[in-house]
Structure 1
Amino acid sequence: MKKIYTNYLANFRGLSREIWLLSLVTFINRAGAMVIPFLSLYLINVEGFTLPQVGWIMSCFGLGSLVGTFIGGKLTDSIGFYKVILASLFLGGVGFILLQFIDSFYGFCIGIFVLTMMADAGRPAIFVAADTYSRPGNTTRSITLIRLAINLGFSIGPLIGGLIIAHINYTSLFWIDGLTCMLASLSVFILLKPKKQRETTTEKIVAVKEGVPPYVNKLFILFFIIMVANSLAFVQYFSVMPVYYEKAHFLSEDIIGWLLFINGATIVIFEMPLIAWLDRKKISKTMATFWGIFFLGLSFLVLNFTSWSGVLVIGMLLMTLGEMIGFPFSNALALEMAPKGRKGSYMALYSMSFSFAHLIGHNGGMNMVSSYGYFNTWIVYAIFLLLIAALTIWLYFLLKKSETKNI
């Protein structure tokens, strides 16, 4: 047991102090993100919106994320990641607090758009900060540690959020989300203020742009399409799936919180050792992305095997396995494909894949369930992800061919 514990800790060695601090700030921010997993339930149970209306509101969520990540990538390349992260966290906190005072459908559409635009402007900056603060050869593990902090926050947040909803009310979550975002902003200001030398060096690097922009890089565009498709299915776990848990399996919000806790807790315990092991095995980042998509597809398929509610845990674990393998390596692959001086733009486009998914995925999922039911919806997503997994293998061979040409 001691050896297992020692080996687990060894996976975290060699990471820079800044990466640890960035992870701490990320944890503070995500631990307060209690509204998001329950937003669709809040809109249905408290505001009384229909499934199609919730779908349109979540599309505005995606549109705001899309605009925010685009602006955030541009600002990251021009003024630096530090200022973007600081402003995004603070303004996002203000947005969460104000959102609770909106009652109308169109008001929610506008409010969600503005909130996510401000909050997601910091996403490309976080990736660039991770790359900047990482020591040579540690980029994937640094991203994994930040993801671990995100998932530790997401595992604790929904658990506490579910208990708060069950015993207090939904609106308390908006205050907690807003205040923790502001606390994270303050933590960035105190703990991660970059040194002038680092800022000067960064400005010199950014001034020299190599390669082509991401939107004319054909291989990166294919990778972007794959990530959009994968994320279209993945985002169902943040909107349609909580409704499925309540309406089809009759779970209460606190039990849903425990189910979501399984995802975050599993990632916290197993992701870093898994990624370190895969790194030692020198797995291709593209093939790791393939396995992530494959396991996500299985997570939808198993839901149709039985009406026993225990299958929800199996589905959650399969989704989590896919997330643990796929996302850290896809992050690292995007950074690897980005030429010097264009990392902000490349990571913005990579982040925008999730934004496009939010824009289309929630609405599509809600309307599909409304028209065809859960069973058919899960079948469609499983087949869709199988096709995307095949597309990822094609990308793998194209990248291998490209590397051969450049030798």
Structure 2
Amino acid sequence: MFKKITNVFSQYRGLSRSAYVIFYARIITNMGAFIWPLLTLLLKRKMGYSELTIGYISLGIGSIFVVANIIGGKLADRFNRKKLIVIFDLISVSFFISCAFVEPGTIMVVLFSIAGIFANIENPSFEALIADISKSKDREKVYSLSYLGHNLGFMVGPLIGGLLFENYLSLAFVIDGLTTLTSTILIILFVKTSDAEQIKEQEIEMQEINEYENDEDDRCSTFNVLLRRKSVLLQLVIFIFSSFIYEQWSFAVPLYIEELYMEKGGMYFGFISGYNGFIVILFTPILTWLLRKFRELQKIFIGVALYSFSFLLIRNAPALSIFFVMIFVFTIGEIVNMLGSSPYLSRRIPASHRGRVNSYASVCYFVGGVGGRALIGWVINDYSYATAFTVITCVGVVALLIILLNYKLDKKTFPLLYQKKAV
């Protein structure tokens, strides 16, 4: 038993220094992540928008973010990824902090939308950088560690944000921006982009080499790269469906809690968000180790199934304790899905096109998430929360059928990944 516990934690040994720096940077950033998790309540409580209007606002902002991600993907494959992260982080932070000096309203929406635009331009570089600093066989561990850092901070951030939300909103914006700035400084000082080159120069055993990541001619269009990898194209569709479902925990759930508990809704959702982070911290290392021999699409199937059906637990105005049960099931699904989806693209796309393909994945996440907010906002407005949660689960069933189809296609497209043991 002791040996198994030791294995759970020792699995993170031997990664590159940059992987550990990104881990600490994500802790710091998300310790100050007060605003984005409470954005729905900010638009409703502080600005007085209806659920339907919030859905439309999310759709408009998300459409702009789609363009930002595409631009960011092209930049990530053309310029130094670390420098891009630093530059756009600094710009994003400046706009975010400026929100502290205006009253809740249209100007505030514009300012944090601009901050989000630059954050999304940076995103493909960040995702590509994580793949750059890791071996193919270590991808689950690196993404797991990064995700763990994200949630170590996120466990604290929304909890504090819920307490600051009512009376100290300006302070929340300032602290949020400063913590992001601190993590950017860590990346400037300690993340070495040469790590990727050092990894390539190491003596890697033949079974560790993944030929699907070999650089292609950069003149080869991303469309042609994807056309030769049809299972990746289908996986992008799956990302749309899974994002549609996943985003409802930060959209439909807080609105539902607000409906049930009125002025205490923000505080209760802050507690639930903190609980989500606690579950991630406790179970991410365990699930990473337990599922280490599962294929990526198997993990994605399990994850999507769990968080799709979790919404059925809260259909009929349950007690507050049931929300914590629902979030437990949801979060286990979230972790398992992450362990599959994060390394999926990095093993199947050449390094020369990582930025652009990651930007397309981000676009799919936005399309699914923002489209889901708009559609579910309409369902809540015209029908009921119970109907909305049923629709969410039905979308999950469709996603699961597509994943099963893609598993067969993926085995044909990337046979070597299925021949290797414990990839």
User: What TM-score do the two structures reach when normalised by structure 1?
Assistant: 0.90
* 1:238 shift after superposition: 1.7
Equivalent runs, 1:156-175 vs 2, <5 Å: 156-165=156-165, 168-175=167-174
Given the alignment of the two structures, is residue 222 of structure 1 paired with residue 222 of structure 2, yes or no?
A: no
Cα deviation for residue 358 of structure 1 reads: 3.5
Q: Deviations over 1:270-292 (max 9, x none)?
A: 1122112211xx21111111111
Cα-to-partner distance string for 1:349-403 (whole Å, 9 max, x where unaligned): 1122222234322222222211111000000110110111111000001112334
Match of 2:243 in 1: 231
Correspondence for 2:365 among 346, 349, 354: 354
2:257 partner amino acid: Y
Name the structure 1 match of 2:276. Answer: 263
1:118 aligns with 2:95: no
Same amino acid, percent of matched pairs: 22
The equivalent residue for 2:335 is 324
Find the partner of 1:314 among 314, 325, 334: 325
SS at match of 1:79: coil
Alignment of 1:2-401 (within 5 A): 3=3, 5-101=5-101, 107=107, 110-165=110-165, 168-195=167-194, 198=197, 208-209=217-218, 213-214=222-223, 216=227, 217-250=229-262, 251-279=264-292, 282-304=293-315, 307-401=318-412
Length, aligned pairs only: 401
> Aligned-pair distance for 1:338?
0.6
Deviations 1:174-195 (A, max 9, x none): 1111122222222221222535
| CA spacing shift, 1:258–1:106, aligned 2, 3 Å | closer
Deviation at 1:234, TM superposition (A): 0.7
Q: Whole-Å Cα distance in 2 between the matches of residues 256 and 4 of structure 1?
A: 35
1:257 alignment partner AA: G
| Matched letter for residue 188 of structure 2 | F
AA aligned to 2:311 is F
Distance 2:316 2:56 in 1: 30
CA distance in 2, matches of 1:119, 1:7: 36
Whole-angstrom CA distance in 1 between matches of 2:45 and 2:98: 20
Alpha carbons 1:30, 1:153 under 8 Å: kept: yes
Query: Which 10-residue stretch deviates more, 2-11 or 345-354?
Result: 2-11
Q: Cα deviation per residue 1:303-326 (whole Å; 9 max; x = unaligned)? A: 126622221111101110111001
- How far did 1:111 drift? 3.5
In 1, Cα distance between equivalents of 2:414 and 2:182: 45
Q: Which amino acid aligns with 1:187?
A: L
Task: For 1:171, give the aligned amino acid.
Answer: S
| CA–CA distance in structure 1, aligned partners of residues 131 and 323 of structure 2 | 36
Aligned mates of 2:49, 2:170 — CA distance in 1: 16
Q: Aligned to 1:390, what secondary structure does the other structure show?
A: helix
Kindly state the Cα deviation for residue 101 of structure 1 after the two structures are TM-superposed: 4.9
Q: Aligned partners of 2:331, 2:371: CA distance in 1, in Å? A: 22
Question: Is 1:60–1:109's contact at 8 Å kept on the other side of the alignment?
Answer: no
1:9–1:196 distance in 2 versus 1, CA, 3 Å: closer
**Distance in 2, Cα, partners of 1:113 & 1:395:** 35
Contact 1:155 1:262 in 2 (8 A): yes
1:68/1:272 CA distance change after superposition, 3 Å? farther
Residues 395 and 211 (structure 1), Cα distance of their counterparts in 2 relative to 1, 3 Å cut? farther
CA shift for structure 1 position 169? 2.4
In structure 2, the CA distance between the partners of 1:206 and 1:60, relative to structure 1 (3 Å rule), is: farther
8 A contact 2:134–2:196 mirrored in 1: no
Task: Specify the alignment match of 2:208 in structure 1.
Answer: none
Q: 1:75 to 1:330 in 2, by over 3 A?
A: same
Match of 2:352, SS state, is: coil
Q: Cα offset for 1:212? A: 6.0
* Cα displacement string for residues 95-126 of structure 1 (whole angstroms, at most 9, x for unaligned residues): 21223455686545543442221012222212
1:252 Cα deviation from its structure 2 partner: 3.5
SS class of match (2:47):
coil
Label 1:196 to 1:51 Cα distance change in 2 as closer, same or farther (>3 A).
Answer: closer
Change (3 A) 1:115 1:368: farther
Find the aligned partners of 2:89 and 2:273 in 1 and give their Cα distance: 24
Measured in 2, the distance between the counterparts of 1:245 and 1:65 equals 28
TM-score (normalizing by structure 2):
0.87
Deviates more, 1:392-401 or 1:210-219: 210-219
Amino acid across the alignment from 2:50: T
- Asked if structure 1 preserves the Cα contact closer than 8 Å seen for 2:24 and 2:149, the reply is yes
| Contact 1:93–1:180 (Cα < 8 Å) also in 2 | no
Cα RMSD, aligned residues only: 2.7
